[in-house]
A and B are shown apart, each in its own frame.
Chain A
Amino acid sequence: MRVDTVDWRAEDSEAGAQRIGGRPAQAFWRRLRPCFRGVLLEPHRRAGEGRVSWRWTGPSEPGAPGAAELTGLRRRLGTGLADLAADLERDEEAGGAEARDLHAGMETLVTDLINAPDARLAGYAIRTEAGWMIRSWGIARPSPARRAGESDATETAAESSSSAEAADADRLSQVVAETDALRPGRRWRPGLWLGAGLGMFLGAVAWFWPGGRADAENLGNASAPAPLAADSPSRPATKPGVVTAGARSVAAQAPREAGAAHQFASVGSAPPPQVGQANGATDGSPRIVPVPMAYTGPIGTPPEAAPRPVDGQGELTRGGSAGAGGESVGPGDARPAKKSSDEAKVAADPGKAVSRATAYKPDAVREPHQGSKPLELGEATARTGEGWAGPVPLASEVPEFAAAPPEGDASRREPPAGNTPGASGRTDITGGSIPTQAGTSATGVIGDSMARDTASPDVVGGRGPEFASWVCHLGQWRLARTRDVALPTMPAEAGQEGGAREALAQARRRAWDEVRAALPDALRSPVTRAGWVFRFRSEAVGPLAPRWVQSAGTGRGGLAAVWPDRAEMTWAEPAPQEGFEARLLGPDGVEWARLRVDDGGRRLGAGFGVPVREAAPWFEVAGAAQGTTGTGTAEGRWRSLGPGWPDTRWRRDADAGSARVVCFAVDPDAAPPTAGVVAWEHLASGWALAREVRLEAGR
């Protein structure tokens, strides 16, 4: 059946567009095109006019996108973002500020689209000849699409109406914000009007008093009294804000400018809001609003299920409200002026602050990272993890993980399957919900494993000074959240049954249900592999490849692979508890390198005696690169969650649906240790599978 196609167009104002480095996001289209071609529609900007237009050809009756189409769009957006990250890596590595800004800006933009509810995303989706695409990206309120030949009359009228309304609303907001005694709609202040009228009357009487005006004019005084109305303000001076604090008023935010409105994302196209029931929570399902890149504490059950102590931010503070003692008010006073003794301790020991903030047991927390600071929920972590300082949530804090058998407990694991990587270790990490105490399992927490440092650093038994050796400590894979969710609540009458806090808890439970349901299978029951790669310098490489020799009698070992310039050892996690050792022999039988795997794969020792370009561990999550629709498209990415560990030099690849990363672009001449948290982040859900990694010199 033939489908009639027509030309469509839409035009948006750049006033509400997301800006990257001070420019509209659409201005970077040339840079974005290679990565987002086919999913983001090409923008057409008119220089100097502040408008961006969109044109496409599609069916005359495009219809609304279905769930499958929207899922496909989300997947392609995620792919485009991953491609962009890889594309920008080189520039970021070179210190390109614009590349960093572009990466961060597009990450926000695309993540926002991916996480948008279907109804909102559908407003951006268009059906083109090339399939469904996204138009008006970066625009908070996309204008309606129309056929190319249609008149602008409707649009102009709508814009005029909108402008008039905005102007009216601005005026209204100014008027309403004038005083404490406010009333929506008409305001009537009889005293003021009476005073003004009486004053004008008296002035008029004085002015027209017989001879008065003539006398004044006769005086030749240029400053003759002007009409009172001109001396009086036409409107009392405005005092923006309605925040009151007992007997005094505090200026709050002035009404926002139109350009700032996009932060709240317009709701013009959204269905009209429901009348609130004053029960403290909005009706219907919660609208999940992602807080971009916010890495927070553990999440296994709704946080209120296991109340946590006050974090380093302290208690709620009275801002804009006079306290009992009449202290200063306002946002600037959000933090108590005087720190409590506990807070002082927190400031003195960031590691303890982390443990307090997330209810970690202090003995389960390893030493804080160098230069770390307390975890604060409000701190948005950059993509390289700046701002977050602390270990990823302990396994015992994450019930899903806590319920999983410890790696050392072979009786609760599937039996190993020989040297077939990936065939074992599949355990549903979300199966349980009962949290356990941190530190009770010898192998249950990263901090514990990290705390048990190597008894003999030179585990590979280097054969001399020229035989360099490194030790790599690995934490357990655990779930982590990379985004928070703003809860939809509304004012509830004080004293109402249940109260606002119960409403908040209820909203949190609903949001948790949605978040939990979004956990992808690849992370719910992760199958992971790990390995080590040696890449040799050209001077060490000959026509023949080296060979791996695994020590006899150590049971299940790894899967060996060699190339003339590269050698890899791969094992399914968990590795055998007793460990195994493998030696890499050159074609002439001389030992090139050695690898030892201990503690179920949580401790790796590697040494090498030939020039290498890279000696690094790598990790792989099976199925992570597999789209939910089975198309094999990546929906996530490897990233660093720890501080001070840039992920721009990581080497990522995917094979048969598995996502792999070599997260140490190791320069053998560089001085270890290097530490951080490596994570596979599922972009759409905000879940990540993370583990701590620390690399240090073996000797």
Chain B
Amino acid sequence: MRSRPSVFAATLRARAVRVLAPACFLALAACAGPGGARPLPVATVVVENHSGYAWRVEFLSPDNRSVSPRASADLAPREIKNLALPPGTYRVRSAVVDAAATPAADVNLELRAGRSYVWPLGTLLSAESPGP
């Protein structure tokens, strides 16, 4: 016959349940986080805004009917942004913010892992910058 545990032992065990289990989980989850996982290869897109307007670029699913972008970025006038995207096929769109018109570009494009791409944005009247 099993003896009834003392109150002290029961308390200790209960606290161990409350504390140790989450701690184990958190520790392991932290190890599995970005620092622990090997980064997946990405495609780098350098978006250069050569104009004096603000632009928005969007990367959408390649199908035609989705309206929300997988990712998007706004560019201030004369700004460059580096975008790291998972490789794959995207529907890319660019538009001048507040232009209230159709996108300037709307095409499907395959981005390959480990490749770098340059996406210049400009307008008919914008002066070219000498660039970096």
> Beta-carbon contacts of A184-218 to B below 8 Å, as 1s and 0s?
11000111111110111011001101011101101
A198 touches B28 (CB 8 A): yes
Tell me the complex Cα distance, A182–B59, Å.
Answer: 13
Query: B37-94: which residues lie under 8 A (CB-CB) from chain A?
Result: 37, 39-40, 42, 45-54, 56, 58-61, 64-94
Shortest Cβ gap from B127 to chain A (Å): 4
Tell me the complex Cα distance, A495–B28, Å.
Answer: 42
How many residues of chain B have a CB within 8 Å of chain A? Answer: 109
Shortest Cβ gap from A182 to chain B (Å): 4
A310 touches B130 (CB 8 A): yes
In the complex, which of the residues A258, A316, A489, A515 contacts B132, with contact meaning CB atoms closer than 8 Å? Answer: A316
B25 touches A181 (CB 8 A): no
Instruction: Return chain A residues, CB-CB under 8 Å to B100.
Output: 18, 108-109, 112, 262-263, 265, 292
Tell me the complex Cα distance, A225–B76, Å.
Answer: 49
Instruction: Return chain B residues, CB-CB under 8 Å to A280.
Output: 118-120
Instruction: Return chain B residues, CB-CB under 8 Å to A311.
Output: 52, 127
A542 at interface, CB cutoff 8 A: no
Query: A262-276: which residues lie under 8 A (CB-CB) from chain B?
Result: 262-268, 270, 272-276
A485 at interface, CB cutoff 8 A: yes
A456 at interface, CB cutoff 8 A: no
Tell me the complex Cα distance, A169–B67, Å.
Answer: 7
Tell me the complex Cα distance, A246–B44, Å.
Answer: 11
> Beta-carbon contacts of A121-138 to B below 8 Å, as 1s and 0s?
000000000000000000
B1 at interface, CB cutoff 8 A: no
B66 touches A169 (CB 8 A): yes
In the complex, which of the residues B20, B51, B75, B130 contacts A331, with contact meaning CB atoms closer than 8 Å? Answer: B75
Instruction: Return chain B residues, CB-CB under 8 Å to A180.
Output: 34, 39, 42, 84
Instruction: Return chain A residues, CB-CB under 8 Å to B111.
Output: 491
Instruction: Return chain B residues, CB-CB under 8 Å to A166.
Output: 66-68
B61 touches A184 (CB 8 A): yes
A232 at interface, CB cutoff 8 A: yes
A203-B21, A273-B106 known; A253+B128 contact, CB < 8 A: no
B122 touches A491 (CB 8 A): no
A273-B107, A319-B80 known; A304+B128 contact, CB < 8 A: yes
Query: A465-513: which residues lie under 8 A (CB-CB) from chain B?
Result: 481, 484-495, 499-501, 503-504, 507-508, 511-512
Shortest Cβ gap from A251 to chain B (Å): 10
Instruction: Return chain B residues, CB-CB under 8 Å to A176.
Output: 70-71, 86
A291 touches B123 (CB 8 A): yes
B32 touches A255 (CB 8 A): no
In the complex, which of the residues A203, A209, A289 contacts B95, with contact meaning CB atoms closer than 8 Å? Answer: A289
Shortest Cβ gap from A355 to chain B (Å): 13
A342 at interface, CB cutoff 8 A: no
Query: A292-316: which residues lie under 8 A (CB-CB) from chain B?
Result: 292, 294, 296-297, 299, 302-304, 307-311, 313-316
Least CB separation from A504: chain B residue: B120
A243-B82, A313-B78, A320-B81 known; A499+B118 contact, CB < 8 A: yes
A560 at interface, CB cutoff 8 A: no
Tell me the complex Cα distance, A203–B56, Å.
Answer: 47
Instruction: Return chain A residues, CB-CB under 8 Å to B125.
Output: 294, 296-297, 299, 303, 377, 481, 484-485
Shortest Cβ gap from B108 to chain A (Å): 5
Shortest Cβ gap from B64 to chain A (Å): 5
A256 at interface, CB cutoff 8 A: yes
B98 touches A252 (CB 8 A): no
Tell me the complex Cα distance, A486–B106, Å.
Answer: 12
B119 touches A206 (CB 8 A): no
A253 touches B72 (CB 8 A): yes
A191 touches B81 (CB 8 A): no
Instruction: Return chain A residues, CB-CB under 8 Å to B127.
Output: 297, 303, 307-311, 357, 377
Least CB separation from A16: chain B residue: B67
A334 at interface, CB cutoff 8 A: yes
In the complex, which of the residues A218, A242, A317, A508 contacts B80, with contact meaning CB atoms closer than 8 Å? Answer: A317
A115 at interface, CB cutoff 8 A: yes
In the complex, which of the residues B60, B71, B81, B91 contacts A321, with contact meaning CB atoms closer than 8 Å? Answer: B81
B25 touches A202 (CB 8 A): yes
A120-B102, A183-B40, A202-B24 known; A490+B119 contact, CB < 8 A: yes
Instruction: Return chain A residues, CB-CB under 8 Å to B92.
Output: 276, 490-491
Tell me the complex Cα distance, A397–B37, Å.
Answer: 58
A165-B66, A273-B106, A310-B127 known; A486+B80 contact, CB < 8 A: no
A297-B125, A316-B129 known; A492+B119 contact, CB < 8 A: yes
Query: B4-51: which residues lie under 8 A (CB-CB) from chain A?
Result: 5, 9-11, 13-14, 16-18, 20-22, 24-34, 36-37, 39-40, 42, 45-51
A267 touches B103 (CB 8 A): yes
A546 at interface, CB cutoff 8 A: no
Tell me the complex Cα distance, A559–B120, Å.
Answer: 55
Least CB separation from A329: chain B residue: B81
A665 at interface, CB cutoff 8 A: no
In the complex, which of the residues A170, A192, A196, A485 contacts B123, with contact meaning CB atoms closer than 8 Å? Answer: A485
Least CB separation from B40: chain A residue: A181
A282 touches B107 (CB 8 A): yes
A192-B33, A489-B105 known; A184+B25 contact, CB < 8 A: no
In the complex, which of the residues B20, B79, B128 contacts A303, with contact meaning CB atoms closer than 8 Å? Answer: B128
Tell me the complex Cα distance, A199–B27, Å.
Answer: 9
A500 touches B76 (CB 8 A): no
Tell me the complex Cα distance, A348–B127, Å.
Answer: 22
B105 touches A488 (CB 8 A): yes
Shortest Cβ gap from A459 to chain B (Å): 38
Least CB separation from A223: chain B residue: B18
A243 touches B81 (CB 8 A): yes
A282 touches B78 (CB 8 A): no
Instruction: Return chain A residues, CB-CB under 8 Å to B115.
Output: 493-494
Shortest Cβ gap from B20 to chain A (Å): 6
A245 at interface, CB cutoff 8 A: yes
Tell me the complex Cα distance, A199–B111, Å.
Answer: 37
A202-B21, A218-B10 known; A289+B54 contact, CB < 8 A: no
A112-B100, A273-B91 known; A162+B65 contact, CB < 8 A: yes
Name B's A-contacting residues (CB within 8 A).
5, 9-11, 13-14, 16-18, 20-22, 24-34, 36-37, 39-40, 42, 45-54, 56, 58-61, 64-111, 115-132
With A190-B32, A265-B101 known, 10 other A-B pairs at CB within 8 A are A166-B67, A180-B39, A198-B28, A255-B72, A258-B67, A264-B93, A275-B109, A377-B127, A488-B105, A500-B120
Shortest 5 CB-CB contacts between residues of A and residues of B: A199-B25, A191-B32, A377-B52, A195-B28, A215-B10
Name A's B-contacting residues (CB within 8 A).
18, 108-109, 112, 115-117, 120, 162, 165-166, 168-170, 172-173, 176-177, 179-185, 189-196, 198-200, 202-203, 206-207, 209, 211-213, 215-216, 218-219, 221, 223-225, 228, 231-232, 241-246, 252-253, 255-256, 258, 261-268, 270, 272-276, 278, 280, 282-283, 287, 289-292, 294, 296-297, 299, 302-304, 307-311, 313-321, 331, 334-335, 357, 376-380, 481, 484-495, 499-501, 503-504, 507-508, 511-512, 515
Q: Name 12 interchain pairs, CB-CB below 8 A, sorted by A.
A: A170-B68, A198-B25, A203-B17, A206-B21, A225-B21, A252-B74, A263-B95, A275-B109, A289-B102, A302-B124, A376-B77, A490-B119
